[in-house]
Structure 1
Amino acid sequence: MSDTEDLTAGPAPEHLDLSTVQRWSSQALNWLHTSHSEGHGRLGADATIDLTDPDNAYKPLGEAALAASLVLRDGVAGAHDTRLAHELIDSCWHRLHEGDLLYERQLRHLTLTDPLELYAHFARAGYRHQPLEDLLTAYAGLRAPDAVEIVPNRRLAVANARRIIGAGREPDWRQLAAATWLGVTPEPWALEWSTVYDITHTVFHLTDWGARPHGLPPHMAAYLSTWLPVWVDVWLEVGAWDLVGELLIVDACMGEPACGAEPWRHLAAAQHPDGLTPRDREPVADDPHRAFKDNEHTAVVAVIAGTVTLARMLGTSHTPVPA
């Protein structure tokens, strides 16, 4: 499939224009690739495992790797975007010293989960580090990692990372899901910013970013089918583009999208000519580094939302693509 091919001929519902979805996602991937190529979000040459501020560069590397790994997994991008995804994740892997940085961080910090979660994105795309996998498998047999007091959707993130890598026993997914905010299906008007993100990430990990839609318990799927379009409308009115994008990923992870074309048109209209999609209606900083810091996550969301939606609508298989 070429990057400019008209996707509207696919089996998507008539109200969803897949060419809009594809363009928004493709331009976001190009912006993300360019930004990383220009050095934004780069770990310094003297970076160690004991990062004083992991969110400064370590987290953006993981988010870029996640987006690239899903582009490669779902296989709905054209040749140009597929090449960019390969180059992006390869660059991230290199910056992590081909996994050595993750290995050393996990070796010295037993209960940290970020090395495991970050490594899963690379493993999905065929990048493997055997000593790290052996270490993760050994740690999965200990009580301490599971005793760490983290919020329920974070436990799902750890469980899904272990599932991708093949490290550790199969958890009780139903029990893990029931402990989340979404598992209780609270009154829909009780949502606030943080709980919306809790809901989206619960869906991401239960379904492995759309690869396992059956992983979402039926009562949670029914609740989302009813309220997701309402929440999208609310956050569209607020102009929270980043959060709207996350909700559209949820929409695709559940199966056939139900939110219609309107949110996609809003997000596409908000996107800048260079591919940057602002996180909200606030002015974008003139400084390129600040603009990257503020809007990098929204680019990742755009790439994932478009990729998973296209994969669902076009019926592609979710198979790993070797590096």
Structure 2
Amino acid sequence: MDPLDLHLPRQVGARALEWLDRCHGSLALDPAVPWYEIDEPSLGALAELALAAATVRRESVGSPETARTADRLLAFSWRQFHEGELLYELQRQTPAATYPMEIYSPLAALGYRHRALDRLLAHLSATRAAQVPEHSPGRRLAVAAAARRIGLPGHHDLAELTRRTWLGGVPEPWMLDGRGAHGVTRTVFHLTDRGADPAGLPAHLQRYLHQWLPAWLQAFTEARSWDLLGELLAVGACLEQPLFHAEAWAALAQAQQADGMLPGGATRPPSGPERAFRSHHPTITAAVAGTLALSRAIGSPRAAGVAS
């Protein structure tokens, strides 16, 4: 990316993070609600917040205030999870479930640890059941990625799982639709740990994305599908030779509201912060995509070390 264009991912990412910081209080869990009655959207929103903040903190390419904001959001998420006790209880009561481990993993990678949960996850990962989950290949890649972040041994044939995903099949590029695009982004994110290990994506898939990602970015720009556009821009930043698309970044920056929120598409987003946060994933995407693009574009020590 031309240095003159760096202000676009920096602006988009910073404004998105500021919006998340202003609105994160709406995600606080009701302390009167027991763990078994917490609804999935509430947990999912907190998990997305933690993942975005963890990515920003990991890359460390923003201003000191950006780092403080990420730390604040991480600390908030950890408190909402009762310093891991809530996730431990969810995992203990539903041992076959993988979502508590997936929520925990980005926090654990940054040092937010719960010893009893670590012991329980180590025990569960050694069971025969852990080797034969009834999950799609993409879901199994997600579980494998979470295990790697926590430091657990893997039982997955990543090459075989990757081959069975939409991206792994290297389909005709014009067959990509919204669902397939989401699958592509998840495959890339899981294999590269959201850009921490670009070499985790096989070389032939890197070549495939370099060939067709620009056309997909143009298509989703024209469709004004801002959530998918942001995710595909993040995919470009996860490649060993990062791929940037100035026109797509300009469109994303123009679509972003003055307060930092990114709508999902052409429709007007909800006005209330709680509904907006729970209903609109794009602002999370914008914070992550902006961070990854900025990190790879300026050649941060982490990105340069991984790519070498």
User: What residue is the counterpart of 1:34 in the other structure?
Assistant: 22
Q: How does 1:100-179 map to 2 (within 5 A)?
A: 100-169=85-154, 171-179=156-164
Distance 1:222 1:22, change over 3 A: same
Structure 1 distance, partners of 2:301, 2:159, is 25
User: What residue is the counterpart of 1:8 in the other structure?
Assistant: none
Structure 2 distance, partners of 1:276, 1:21, is 14
Q: How does 1:248-287 map to 2 (within 5 A)?
A: 248-287=233-272
Cα RMSD (Å) of the superposition? 1.6
1:212 aligns with 2:200: no
The amino acid that maps onto 2:169 is V
1:79 aligns with 2:79: no
User: What residue is the counterpart of 2:36 in the other structure?
Assistant: 50
Q: Which has the higher helix share?
A: 2
Deviation per CA, 1:10-42: give whole Å up to 9, x if none: xxx328711111011000000001101xx3222
User: What residue is the counterpart of 1:68 in the other structure?
Assistant: 53
Structure 1 distance, partners of 2:40, 2:167, is 28
Instruction: Determine which of 88, 97, 104 is the counterpart of 2:73.
Output: 88
Return 5+ residue gaps in structure 1 as ranges. 1-12
Distance 1:149 1:171, change over 3 A: closer
Structure 1 distance, partners of 2:103, 2:119, is 16
8 A contact 1:255–1:312 mirrored in 2: no
Structure 2 distance, partners of 1:148, 1:257, is 34
Return 5+ residue gaps in structure 2 as ranges. 304-308
User: What residue is the counterpart of 1:301 in the other structure?
Assistant: 285
TM-score (ref. length: structure 2): 0.94
Q: How does 1:189-228 map to 2 (within 5 A)?
A: 189-228=174-213
Deviation per CA, 1:158-209: give whole Å up to 9, x if none: 1011011111236332222112111111111222211110110000010111
Distance 1:207 1:16, change over 3 A: farther
8 A contact 1:160–1:208 mirrored in 2: yes
Secondary structure class of the residue paired with 2:36: coil
Structure 1 distance, partners of 2:178, 2:160, is 25
8 A contact 2:227–2:285 mirrored in 1: yes
Structure 2 distance, partners of 1:17, 1:281, is 25
Structure 2 distance, partners of 1:29, 1:216, is 27
Distance 1:311 1:64, change over 3 A: same
The amino acid that maps onto 2:102 is E
Structure 1 distance, partners of 2:241, 2:250, is 18
Structure 2 distance, partners of 1:259, 1:311, is 12
The amino acid that maps onto 1:85 is A
Count of aligned positions: 303
